[in-house]
Amino acid sequence: MKKLLSGNEAVARGAFEAGVKLAAAYPGTPSTEILENVAKHFPSIYCEWSPNEKVAFEVGIGGSLGGGRSLVTMKHVGVNVAADPLMTFSYTGVNGGFVFISADDPEMHSSQNEQDNRYFAKFAQIPFLEPSDSQESKDMVLLAFEISEQFDTPVMLRMTTRISHSKGLVETSDPIELGEQNLFDRDVKKYVMVPGHARARHKHILDRTAKLAEYVENSPLNKVESYGTKLGIISGGISYQYAKDIMPETDILKIGIGYPLPNKMIKEFVDAHERVIIVEELEPYYEEAIRIAGIHKIEGKKYFSREGELSPYRVAKGLQKAGVVETVAEPGYDPTQLFPRPPVLCVGCPHRGFFAVLKKLKLTVTGDIGCYTLGTLQPLGALHSCICMGASIGNAIGMEKVNGSKEDIVAVLGDSTFLHSGITGVLDAVYNQSDITIIIADNRITAMTGGQQHPATGYTLMGKKTKSVDIAELCKALGVESVRTVDPLDYDETMTAVKEEIKRPGPSVIITNRPCVLMPKPVYDTPYEVILDECNGCSACFRIGCPAILPSKEMTKKNRPKAEIDPVLCNGCSLCAQVCKPEAIVLTKQPEAVK
């Protein structure tokens, strides 16, 4: 049976067909939908949102050691968090098959960097597979589990944004029949990585890589498509699709397993052609590895950028630069003429209130990854650093230690981010007596990736009611003496709290308590309106950055635009009315019939 599936949906289907017993993840675009689809469609698989990627990886390892096939998913930067268990699990090997997804994000559509995680597989000395469409995304999950168990290794499936989110027809099948599950074998020399055992397991990795090198030479995932041309192309993943689209009848070596590479096959391909061009996205991973193998008659990155994702147009321009494509049709639009639409906090977002306060107080704000990162954009402009999950607290501590002033520094992070990697930062602030104020923007959900549960929401990924972490009590247990909760849409209350806490000695925590305006359902309330006769054009309401507030056509005597509010967008959060000194913003009077 064929179904139209995205790459992420196809991976979820592949997990089901492969007989996966356990799936774990921390949500992160572009990988999030994999676990959501597992939970929605395949209840036979135990699945969970873990507090962070390291824990998810370790849960997956436990599932594998227990004998069940285990899948762990994350975005590319999540592999950084999970790198510690990954590197050692490469040594121990598996019991049940273990596959993890690295969903890379070329062009940084929703990420703080665009690292190329093909290098992570080489670093850990584990095989990685790279699908080029939805069908391969499903099929490679099954093959990855076979390779994992055959060669006693974790396996990485490298997705990218375009593969994760593009849809294609997928031929589905029934789950495969697995043999009796191997229970955990208490083989301490294999699974307990003290130095004496690890030295022997390092030799196992080298032997395993040699066997994999033989395997990949005959794997159907690495294949030559021959048309008898003098030019040859080497490519893989989404880049293969683009190259195939531009030069459909050119000899191409498609790479499906990228580590270790099939060097014998590559050498034969290169020797059989007068010229070989490598088309790959981001880093020159293939190109470098092939040159290291002693194969030098290749070209690649001098025609293609190491920045951003490829596209059919960019591949065509690169091949034109190489002199193998004569003309390239220009896009049917001029990108410079498109109306820019930067991301923005939603109408009624509770984060807007405390950012308005932080801007008013001119504080230095260290930030983090989440919706609240958008507080850095104008007109708010109230967040000044963003490195990684949980870094806001550590950054604030370091800044305070070298500058010695608490009254200038505030760290901001969300509830899910706090539970992901902010707890240890709070512990550091208490232990090392740092004079910083921490704002935990608790909107009761993992909002940035679409509204996933976490340990403080009270529900699991599988929809079961569970114990909810009390963030305030947790902070107190860590030793924070001043922990207070505020309504971020109460401007005066938030202003008072921040002013008091930045003067308080030692670390302090402010928790905002408004849920995400979109979760679990949109908030529809009485909108506000501007009484134009009362508006003096001071622009205070413009400075909170609400998309519902627009310049009116009516001007003041000083030729400044008055404000107006779009009643369709406004959901009555009231923040604009609170900052309006002339009190020109009031609740809309509803007709009696509507009331």
| Residues 373-402 pLDDT 10s | 998 988 999 999 999 989 999 999 999 998
**pLDDT surpassing 80 at residue 342:** no
pLDDT in tens, 257-292: 999 999 999 999 999 999 999 999 999 999 999 999
pLDDT at 408: 86
312: its two tokens: 């059919």
Q: What is the CATH number of domain 223-321?
A: 3.40.50.920
Q: What is the CATH number of domain 528-587?
A: 3.30.70.20
pLDDT in tens, 286-303: 999 999 999 999 999 999
pLDDT at 449: 87
Number of neighbouring beta carbons within 10 Å of residue 219? 17
pLDDT confidence band for 477 (50 / 70 / 90): very high
Range 134-149 average pLDDT: 97
Overall fold of domain 351-512: Rossmann fold (3.40.50)
Domain ranges of the chain: 2-217, 223-321, 351-512, 528-587
Query: Which uninterrupted H or E stretch holds 136?
Result: helix 134-151
pLDDT in tens, 306-326: 998 999 999 999 999 999 888
From 584, 587, 588, select the one nearest 552 (Cα to Cα): 584
CA distance linking residue 564 with residue 402, whole number of Å: 45
| Average predicted confidence (pLDDT) for the chain | 92
pLDDT at 339: 66
pLDDT in tens, 527-580: 999 999 999 999 999 999 999 999 999 999 889 999 999 998 898 889 999 999
pLDDT in tens, 403-461: 876 678 999 999 999 999 999 999 999 999 999 999 999 998 888 888 888 988 988 99
pLDDT at 520: 64
Question: Are residues 53 and 74 in contact, defined by beta-carbon separation less than 8 angstroms?
Answer: yes
Overall fold of domain 2-217: Rossmann fold (3.40.50)
Question: Are residues 405 and 423 in contact, defined by beta-carbon separation less than 8 angstroms?
Answer: no
pLDDT in tens, 209-256: 999 999 999 999 999 999 999 999 999 999 999 999 999 999 999 999
Range 96-119 average pLDDT: 92
Query: Which uninterrupted H or E stretch holds 49?
Result: strand 46-49
**pLDDT surpassing 60 at residue 524:** no
pLDDT at 594: 41
pLDDT confidence band for 593 (50 / 70 / 90): very low
**pLDDT surpassing 70 at residue 50:** yes
Are 351-512 and 528-587 in the same CATH fold?
no
402: its two tokens: 């070298």
pLDDT in tens, 196-213: 999 999 999 999 999 999
Q: Whole-prediction pTM value? A: 0.90
Range 41-59 average pLDDT: 95
Q: Is 437 exposed, middle or buried (0-12, 13-18, 19+ CB in 10 A)?
A: buried
In the chain, pLDDT over 90 holds for what percent of residues?
Answer: 79
